[in-house]
Amino acid sequence: MPSTDLSNDIAASRDDILKQLASVADHPVELVAVSKKQPDERLQAALDCGQRVFGENRVQEAQEHWQHRRDIEGLTLHLIGPLQSNKSEDAVALFDVIQTVDRKKIVRTLSEAAEKLNRFPHLLIQVNTGEEDQKSGVLPADLEELIDYTRATYPGELKGLMSIPPVDEPAGPHFALLKKLADRAGLPWVSMGMSADYELGAKLGATHVRVGSAFFGERKTA
């Protein structure tokens, strides 16, 4: 069981984040608590204070965190890290939302897994708004083609777009671009904003923000 101090700290952080989101956005914003590399007691403290939506970067770690908790009412798991095609079936089995679709091959393998398991997580396409060579995500110029392909291929729902702006550039223009691209495609979900800039993301139209250290405190790596 988490200590009382830890539970109180995480509950207070969650309350602060929710209040800030409510103060800057005139629409609902889902707080996705990024639980990667968090020890079990911190996950339990988050659950104890009412958090039910979590984001994980890796399928295997997410299985270790959540497989034995999958029957918790209201638990919603988002994959927010890159997905290898050979992990598609595991991802479909565990996650409710996969935010990092970035190429046709992933759409195909997710579609095959969804049909096989009769389970259809919502999908978001990751957009490389900064057009960075080392970063995952489809380039804005290629987005429309991938949207069309996903809608034609995937048996579940394509719900929106996500992005991670370049660390050395202001986030605002990237958030504004992502919102514009989502609106143009008629996609209702926009996942943008992390611990340092979730308020800005919400202000510019995010429906989901992915918050790790501001929620849990500094991440433990052990």
- Mean pLDDT of all residues in 36-63: 96
The β-bridge partners of 145 are none
Indicate if the pLDDT at residue 209 is higher than 60. Answer: yes
Q: What do you get for the CA distance between the two ends of the chain, in Å?
A: 18
CB atoms within 10 A of CB 173: 13
Give the model confidence (pLDDT) of 65-82 as tens digits: 999 999 999 999 999 999
44: left (phi over 0), alpha (psi -120 to 50) or beta: alpha
By the 8 A CB rule, do 101 and 119 touch?
Answer: no
Half-sphere exposure (Cβ direction) of 173: Cα atoms closer than 13 Å: 7
Distance of CA 87 to the CA centre of its chain: 17
- Mean pLDDT of all residues in 212-216: 97
Tokens at 38, concatenated = 């968090």
Indicate if the pLDDT at residue 220 is higher than 60. Answer: no
Band (pLDDT 50/70/90 cuts) for residue 4 is: confident
* Rg of the Cα atoms in the chain: 17
pLDDT value at residue 222: 39
- Mean pLDDT of all residues in 42-60: 97
The strand pair at 53-56 and 30-34 is best described as parallel
DSSP 8-class letter at 50:
T
Q: Which CATH class is domain 4-216?
A: alpha beta
By the 8 A CB rule, do 192 and 209 touch?
Answer: yes
**Which of 62, 185, 190 shows the shortest CA–CA distance to 124?**
190
pLDDT value at residue 218: 74
Indicate if the pLDDT at residue 219 is higher than 80. Answer: no
pLDDT value at residue 221: 45
Give the model confidence (pLDDT) of 108-150 as tens digits: 999 999 999 999 999 999 999 999 998 999 999 999 999 999 9
